[in-house]
């Protein structure tokens, strides 16, 4: 197959990637060093591969890379640092909501998008918005409490 060049803005930086026509965005991102984006189910039902495309959460495992050409993408590598975590990351850590961490990049990005859409969500709004992200370790209550704590700070 012939490779094609696409341009993206990833975490605020302009990038050019060589892709195959049938390559998923998740495969390209991981190959290019964005290892925080995880492969979970491969069918868009677990949320581990969630990225923000033009500010909206999408499953990168089901999206072809060429569909993202010319768009802005945010991966977990663009959200906070170990020394200066994003407020959502800090809340999840403080609440003890992070266990294995495999699902956390998708959860954090989905939550970030949610708070950009609605800075003061109620419990039902949070549950509805976060529905596409599965966590096999924590049981969700600590995640929900952490996100409610972020919403309380935003009031």
Query: Residue 81's pLDDT is what?
Result: 92
- pLDDT given for residue 100 in this prediction: 87
Residue 57 lies in a domain: yes
**Does 147 share its domain with 93?**
yes
Mean pLDDT rounded to a whole number for the chain: 95
- For residue 74, what is the enclosing H or E element? strand 72-74
Per the DSSP assignment, residues forming a β-bridge with 5 are 18
Could you tell me if 73 and 91 lie in one domain? no
Query: Residue for token digits 């599965």?
Result: 134
Domain check: are 53 and 117 in the same one? Answer: no
Answer yes or no: do 15 and 67 share one domain.
yes
97 shares its domain with 148 = yes
Same structural domain for residues 16 and 50?
yes
Buried b (16+ CB within 10 A) or exposed e, 68-78: beeeebbbbbb
Residue with tokens 């010319």: 70
Distances in Å between the alpha carbon of 28 and those of 23, 65, 99, 102?
7, 7, 27, 19
- pLDDT above 70 covers a percentage of the chain that reads 100
Question: Tens of pLDDT along 132-144?
Answer: 999 888 778 999 9
Across the range 120-136, mean pLDDT stands at 94
Q: How confident is the model at residue 154, as a pLDDT? A: 80
Q: How many domains does the chain have?
A: 2
Model pLDDT, residue 71: 98
What is the Cα gyration radius of the chain?
Answer: 16
Query: What CATH number does residue 112 fall under?
Result: 1.10.150.120
The reported pLDDT for the residue numbered 101 is: 86
CATH code for the domain of 67: 3.10.20.30
Answer whether residue 99 shows pLDDT above 90: no
Span 50-87, pLDDT tens digits: 999 999 999 999 999 999 999 999 999 999 999 999 99
User: What is the domain extent for residue 44?
Assistant: 4-77
**Residues β-bridged to residue 102:** none
pLDDT at residue 80, rounded to an integer:
93
Q: Which of 37, 55, 77 is the last residue of a domain?
A: 77
């Amino acid at each position: 197959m012939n490779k094609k060049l696409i341009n993206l803005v990833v975490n605020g930086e302009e990038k050019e990637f060589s892709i195959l026509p049938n390559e998923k965005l998740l495969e390209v991102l991981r190959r290019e060093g964005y290892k925080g984006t995880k492969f979970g189910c491969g069918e868009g039902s677990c949320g581990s591969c969630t990225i923000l495309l033009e500010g909206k959460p999408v499953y990168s495992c089901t999206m072809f890379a060429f569909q993202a050409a010319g768009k802005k993408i945010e991966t977990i590598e663009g959200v906070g640092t170990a020394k200066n975590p994003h407020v959502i990351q800090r809340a999840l850590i403080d609440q003890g909501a992070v266990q294995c961490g495999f699902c956390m990049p998708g959860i954090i990005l989905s939550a970030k998008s949610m708070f950009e859409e609605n800075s003061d969500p109620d419990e039902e709004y949070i549950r509805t918005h976060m529905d596409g992200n599965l966590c096999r370790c924590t049981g969700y209550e600590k995640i929900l409490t952490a996100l409610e704590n972020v919403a309380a700070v935003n009031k």
